[in-house]
Amino acid sequence: MIDKIAWLHLVDGRILSTRSRGKQVYYLPGGKREAGETDTETLVREIREEVSVEITEPTIEPAGVFEAQADGKAPGVVVRMTCFTAEYTGTLEASSEIDEIAWLGYADREKVSAVDKIIFDHLHEAGQLT
């Protein structure tokens, strides 16, 4: 099991996604927990590292937990994505290992990881992702 935290940031029916260096697939911003980190600490650190903004901690809200086969891993290796929404301060820009930031709609579903596809379906069914 790969335990990850992700930020769901939607604007006008599109969701913020990132593409890492050397990858073709887009992922929701976030990442793996470091030893001893809480969900909040992981979310704040990962979002700062990937898209250069500061999550406003009092606005963090749970948005669901999703599981799927992990991309590029042996069959049976599952990624569990614990998702949150939150407001932020700063200007979104790619940093660290991120090559590109993109605003994706439901039509872009085939460009994302397996677990992100499940999240895209969930958001689309809820009328949040167009």
Residue 30 sits in a domain whose CATH number is 3.90.79.10
Cβ partners under 8 Å of residue 92, min gap 6: 16, 51, 52, 53, 101
Instruction: Examine residue 24 and state whether it is found in any structural domain, yes or no.
Output: yes
C-alpha 3/C-alpha 31 separation (Å) is: 8
Instruction: Examine residue 60 and state whether it is found in any structural domain, yes or no.
Output: yes
Instruction: Examine residue 81 and state whether it is found in any structural domain, yes or no.
Output: yes
Q: Which residues of 103-130 are buried (b: 16+ CB within 10 A; e: fewer)?
A: ebebebeebbbebbebbbebbeeeebbe
Instruction: Examine residue 129 and state whether it is found in any structural domain, yes or no.
Output: no
- The total number of structural domains in the chain stands at 1
Q: Domain residues for 42?
A: 2-124
Q: In the numeric block, which tokens belong to residue 113?
A: 């990881």
Instruction: Examine residue 120 and state whether it is found in any structural domain, yes or no.
Output: yes
Instruction: Examine residue 62 and state whether it is found in any structural domain, yes or no.
Output: yes
Query: Which pLDDT belongs to residue 118?
Result: 97
The pTM for the full model equals 0.94
Instruction: Examine residue 130 and state whether it is found in any structural domain, yes or no.
Output: no
pLDDT in tens, the chain (130 residues): 999 999 999 999 999 999 998 889 999 999 999 999 999 999 999 999 999 999 999 999 999 999 999 988 999 999 999 999 999 999 999 997 899 999 999 999 999 999 999 999 999 999 999 9
Query: Which pLDDT belongs to residue 12?
Result: 97
